[in-house]
Chain A
Amino acid sequence: MKRHPLIRLLSVAVAATTLAACSSGGAPTAAGGTFTVWDPYPQFDATSAWAKVVDKCGADAGVKITRQAFDTTDLTNKVLLAAQQNTAPNVLVVDNPVVSTLAEGGVLKSNADTGLDAAQVAPNLLAAADVKGQVYGVPIGANTLALYYNKAVLTAAGVDPASVKDWASLDAALAKVHTAGKKGITFSAIGTEEGSFQFLPWFWGSGANLTDLGSADAVAALAQWKSWLDKGYAPNSVIGNTQTTSWQEFATGEYAFAENGTWQLQKAKTAGFDYGVLAIPARTGGAAPAPTGGEFVTVPAQSSPDAEKTAGKIASCLTSPANVGDSDTALTYVSAVPSVQEKQVAAQPELKVWVDAVKVAKGRTGDNLGTRYPRISEPLWGAVQAALTGAKAPDAALAAAQATAASAK
């Protein structure tokens, strides 16, 4: 039988439509005393401390909990789709820069509605969830970036880590390491949010502001990164590095410095060499503000105010100082509550540099940027890539990025 050309044509067309794939559907609802919790911690299975805290908090609120863990990059889209289908979870643990997007989209309930209390949380951490004076959720903890260093490599090159106080002294240290035949520094400049996240400590540390990507301070920060590649202090692979692949480079023991996060502490202990941690220096000295990482426990809009209140209770329980300590330890996060931070440092003195870094850290969506941040971050990582690959000079790349960011309202 000869097939009709139209049918043949249609079958060609549908073969190309996998972009509009069928969604899997069937997300659970709050019916029958069962509450759902979504989190981005697939590394924690049902036997983990985190899963047990989740169950306990459900029991305290008188409901049974079904927990689902997603990959963090997947979670935003999953939540948006679920909210559209009215199948959003009752409690949502979500990456902090996403909170303002979800809040402005009307997906989340504010703390005033749910009875969540964020009074004890450090204001610089809470800023990420502050949308027009309303706060949405409570941070479970915080992480940020600092410089890990390999003691053996620095000693062999004759560098005292304490001498690294500003960009000039860091450059001098990198030059010595380079002369000694070792590799200088590795970081992640990939063309995703991770790239912007890693660039921000230098960007802010130079005095630049996200509202003006083309400023002279911003250009100075990008020129600094570019000069490291040009002089061979940093490998060319940073352009494609995620923070994980960047860490793998540092773990070879060939590198003096690595810009990476709190979450690598466990791996650092098993790296097989002596390491230390430095705050990322600002251009003229002192610690640069690094962006805050870490998730917020939030309550999505639900069918009834009662369900929202119950969800609020569960969220309060999850973030209460008594319960959150174990979760923060498991995640190697710094607590969001200053008094608990002090306890963490008392128990583990090595955490002091991280707690200090979290204290001066800034939320990416802070400064009232909110949902404008993603529209700024994307051209920013594009400019970083354009400059590091040599496609554009740092000033031209950032000027173009500023034009794009300004036009995307």
Chain B
Amino acid sequence: MLDTREPVTARPAARAPGRAGWRRKQQLLAWAFLLPLVAYLVLCYGYPLVTNVDLSLRNYTVRTFVHGGAPLVWFDNYAGVFTDPTFRTALLNTLVFTAASLLFQYGIGLAMAVFFARHFRLGPTLRALFLVPWLLPLIVSGSTWAWLLNSESGVVNSVLGWFGAGRIDWLTSPSWSLVSVIIANIWIGVPFNLVVLHSGLQNIPAEVYEAASLDGAGAWQRFRHVTFPLLRGVSAITLLLGLVYTLKVFDVIWIMTKGGPGGSSTTLATWSYQLGFGSMLPRFGPSAAVGNVLILLAVVAGLLYIRAQRRQEEA
């Protein structure tokens, strides 16, 4: 930023107007630099967001969607969504899906980051290989998991069969479908956690570990009292980003189970899509309402994060 703390006494009186003009010019320039960003935010985020809110407050039919004039029904769509029995299932599934995915993605990611922090031969190569799930298109990962978990001919069931386990209907049983999509989503999310946490580990000075070792700390104590606390900031941002990504996960679930069977793996994201685009007669109003509930959830999560961070800064 500009440093304007110039001693007033040093400024000759005659130069004052020119100085003010220069300052105004600087301010205009600053706004000009801001303009593209503001325009971008309004066009690509503000407008869709407002449209989505508008969609959710109107009763759209195909005719009114095309020709306009959909009547304003205020919160009817929301009331309809909240009283729908699917809402409970979708909300609960979203929470379970998000919590389980985050917990395991973070846990496994951290364990692997600590593992790869010790330098050993082929370490970087192996680490690069672990990134593959992140680089694959979701349609490939989703289809592959669906194929692996197929109850008749899937690899997972035949491997389990060698150990004498019975057949599990991973994708076609209401009690397993959510577990299956969570497993696939964890697999997809681990590399992101690994990369971010690994780079966080690089920033912890080696001296701290040396000092801890001199004080007689073992491996677990070094992790518990050095690595984990010093990684707190990176962990928080990893988990928050993970939370926002996971709340809106759609592709993997849609490809593997379509939210089924019988809605057993439906989350708010897949339900919103199902309402808007899943049948031949789109229901844009309720679909937008579910989408907005999802956004609100993300905002609440964001608020919690900001509050936690502020408390940490104050402490």
B302 touches A9 (CB 8 A): yes
Q: A104-B63, A240-B172 are in contact. Are A9 and B295 (CB under 8 A)?
A: no
Given that A12-B244, A192-B278 are known contacts, is A19 also in contact with B272, CB under 8 Å in the complex? Answer: yes
Stretch binding the partner chain, chosen from B115-123, B133-141, B194-202, B255-263: B255-263
Contact B248 A12 (CB under 8 A): no
Contact A389:B173 (CB < 8 A) given known A21-B48, A101-B62, A249-B152? yes
Task: Count residues of chain A with CB under 8 A from any CB of chain B.
Answer: 52
Can you add 13 more A-B contacts, CB < 8 Å, to A8-B302, A389-B262, A391-B262? A17-B52, A19-B272, A20-B51, A80-B65, A106-B63, A106-B67, A192-B258, A236-B172, A236-B173, A374-B279, A377-B279, A382-B262, A385-B260
Indicate if A30 sits at the interface (CB-CB under 8 A): no
> Of all chain B residues, which has the CB nearest A79?
B66
Known: A14-B49, A371-B281. A19 touches B303 (CB 8 A): no
Do the beta carbons of A22 and B48 come within 8 Å of each other? yes
When the two chains form their complex, are residues A19 and B258 in contact, meaning their CB atoms are under 8 A apart? no
Closest B residue by C-beta to A235: B152
In angstroms, Cα B173 to Cα A168, docked, is 28
Given contacts A12-B299, A104-B63, A20 and B262 within 8 Å (CB-CB): no
| 12 A-B residue pairings within 8 Å (CB atoms) | A9-B306, A16-B247, A16-B299, A19-B248, A20-B48, A22-B43, A22-B48, A84-B66, A105-B63, A105-B66, A191-B263, A240-B257
Contact, CB under 8 Å: B152 / A107:
no
Establish whether residues A388 and B261, one from each chain, have CB atoms under 8 Å apart when the complex forms.
yes
Q: Is the interface of B mostly helix, strand, loop or mixed?
A: helix
Q: How far is the CA of A44 from the CA of B63 in the complex (A)?
A: 32
A391 to B305, CA, bound (A): 39
Residue in chain B with minimal CB distance to A388: B261
Give Cα A5 to B306, complex, Å. Answer: 7
Q: A18-B248, A237-B172, A391-B174 are in contact. Are A84 and B281 (CB under 8 A)?
A: no
B261 surroundings in chain A (CB, below 8 A): 191, 239-240, 385, 388-389, 391
The 10 closest A-B pairs by CB, nearest first: A105-B62, A12-B302, A374-B281, A191-B260, A16-B298, A20-B48, A239-B172, A20-B52, A14-B45, A385-B262
* B171 lies within 8 A of chain A by Cβ: yes
- Any B CB within 8 A of the CB of A97: yes
B50 to A, closest residue via Cβ: A20
The 8 A CB mask of B25-58 against A (1 = contact, 0 = none) is: 0000000000000000101110011011000000
Bound CA–CA A376/B262 (angstroms):
16
Tell whether A173 is near chain B: CB-to-CB under 8 Å.
Answer: no
Instruction: Name the CB-closest residue of B to A252.
Output: B153
Q: Is B277 an interface residue (CB 8 A)?
A: yes
